Structure 1
Amino acid sequence: MTEVAMQPSRIRSRSLFEVAIVTVVSIVGFGMADFYLRRLWTIGPDGLSALSKTLPYWDFSNLWAGGRMALDGHVDTLFDVDAYRAALRGMFGADLPNQEWSYPPSILLIGAPLAALPIFPAYLVWTFGTVLCLWLAVRPLKVGGAAELAIVLSPAVIWDAVFGQNGALTTALLIGGLAAAPRRPVLAGILFGLLTIKPHLGILVPFCLLACGNWRAIAAAAGTAALVAVATGLFFGFDVWSLFYTQTRPLMTGIMEAPFPQHYHANAMTVFFTARAIGFGVSAAYGLQAIATIVAIGAVVWLWRPGRQVEHAERVVLTAVLAILATPYGYTYDTIAVAVAAALLWTMVSRPPRLVLAICWLYAFVAHILNNAGFHIGVLVPSFLAGWMFFSIWVRSRGAQSRPKPSAA
């Protein structure tokens, strides 16, 4: 992919005011992280967390238990809700609240090896391993050591760890693939193929690759996705795919379309959920989400066409933020790209007010508080950052097009 080189001005020094903001925000962030993590690992007499009211591993217990069932030859249990819940209570205790298996079967390729370990060591390997993947993925963005630290210790990453979720891994696959696409298309395609463990977060990827004509990445992504599907079938039986389609997919659709509000809506951050919160019915909410998705697709097609006046790091991060707006199903632990965008913009001269960036970075910690209070404004955070970045790039591109070309000697 060819592009017009355009490095936005980066800040070379920090003012005392900036240092003060970073200090205050860091203290607030670490204080809230300490509060949530302490409550998460405060275990009651029933063996459940004071914060989550379930196991302190939270959603990771599904991945680990599903992997354990698959290793024991009971993979069909994953797709029978009552049998699955009974099996979980047999593993973890009779007081365990209801949980469901919600993942594509391909994630068992990760869950089964983790389930060979006891759950606590497996949780540590999962949490620190996925954060390491995230750090490796953001390094090519060249935002600097301080900004990289702000990303891997961001509230969104902490919240991802609290939930035992996969946001750090999926963000690493998305950002890593987008960053590698121009120069290492095969690697990019492999990462995109692996992202099919959570495919709704990769909605925009095909449009990015088509816009820039990156056929090698497209072929590598398709080949990797097919290989993952076949490997899953060979290890766990090809029936898992039909069971996923006929059992898990309708179950998750029902959870998403359930009457609003539900307890799990406290961390929802998509256009679809925001529309539900302000009173839209399911069909109208899907309609509003469709508009947001189409706008995001149009934005990335424009962004990834050759010749734009844009630094590749900006293109990558903006696309990752737009991916949050393009999907109807997303929660705070899926919004690590917001922290990446805030960190990138902090290093640039052309940026939103510093306090606004600080609020965006911290937002994952307070989203559930505001949602529970009836203020479902979380989608405004990625919307604002995406709008700011896109407008800046568009203005720069228009300015470059209007400049007279130097005459030939």
Structure 2
Amino acid sequence: MNFWILLLSTSLLLGSSDANGLDTVEVVNAVKNILDEGTTSYRITTDISLVYYAEEKAKECPAIGDLESEEVLIKNDDLQNLSIGSNSTQYFSLGPLPTIATLRNKTVRILLDIGSRMGCAPLNCSSGFDQYCVFDSREHASSRLENYGCVKSEKYPNLCEEQPIDYVSMDPSNFQSKMMSWNHERRAVAKKFGYSRMYEMNWSDDAAMIAEVLGFACEPDFAGFLGTHYYMHPRTLDPLGSSWIFTHDTIDGSQILGNTTFEMFAPDRKEFGCVPLDTACCLNYSYICVLGPDWSSTDQPIFSKGTPCEQCPDECNDGLCVNPKKETSLENSAVVPSEIPIAETTSIYHGTIWEDTGKAIALLVCFIGATIAALLLVYYLFTNNYSF
């Protein structure tokens, strides 16, 4: 089962529901849909990285006085009352952008300065509250999503529905810049856990060419993936804090290899390259990355503990070791140059991101695969005297 789907399913079952089975996020959405009519407001979705953060913070039994502006404590009784009254109009808002919802004369209040993401965890404390939730603010969500149009939610017509990022439509420089932001996540992990030799990754055209070939296969079960250090990004909303997925429960990432987020946090990865994936041939993933310099090594990652940058052989850049840029080759890769002719016409580095030629090739590959499957099916039916 896909790693991300499993984590998301777990979060929906455990991270956002109270003891009575109410989905906290959906109850808040129902209230938000009433109060936010006429505003640019977003439907809230459960963010697995925020769920992980909430679970860690809930262990500390936070008090109301300890909360930051994007945190809230919730009572299940209040949530129940909000759920019962969410179809009525017995609400009023305060200010131009509503922040407080009150049900009739009861002291049922819930903070609604919530942008588009939320994560909750149950509390086992004596504070009188049942859940701790963390979320992004309206301001943060608006800033993050201001360049994307508002797609109205079918379930909550007064709210906009956040959409997954369309990496294929990005120009090459923007796509590469977006990919380089993985270094910010690596830096956060190195500082949090004191990894003394985690590298800042450089961009590699060679790695991206390998990624482009593997991307046409799309499915990780393809033989070409075996032994390759790669990461395939699911075509879902990007978590706001990828590092929390890596650091949750255990940090022994040395036992994790293959198609998981953990590969992006292996300390000894020094360079990487990625390409966007068109839905014409890869429906479930939005981009693929290959990491090196040992593209196909079976060696376990080494997580050296200490002070960040303590064991860097060269320079240090804010917690990450600097890997001197150098010319790379495909000498040690699992794919030889003669096996990647398509990179010359579809590669992001030759000025296009799956433009006309790339899409045509992608569609052709899909068509050929479908044709072969159809012919095999016909052959099977006739050879087995199948009758309709």
TM-score normalised according to structure 2 size:
0.24
Structure with the largest fraction of helix: 1
Give 1 or 2 for the bigger CA radius of gyration: 2
TM-score normalised according to structure 1 size:
0.23
The structure, 1 or 2, with the larger RCO (C-alpha pairs under 8 Å, 6+ apart) is: 1
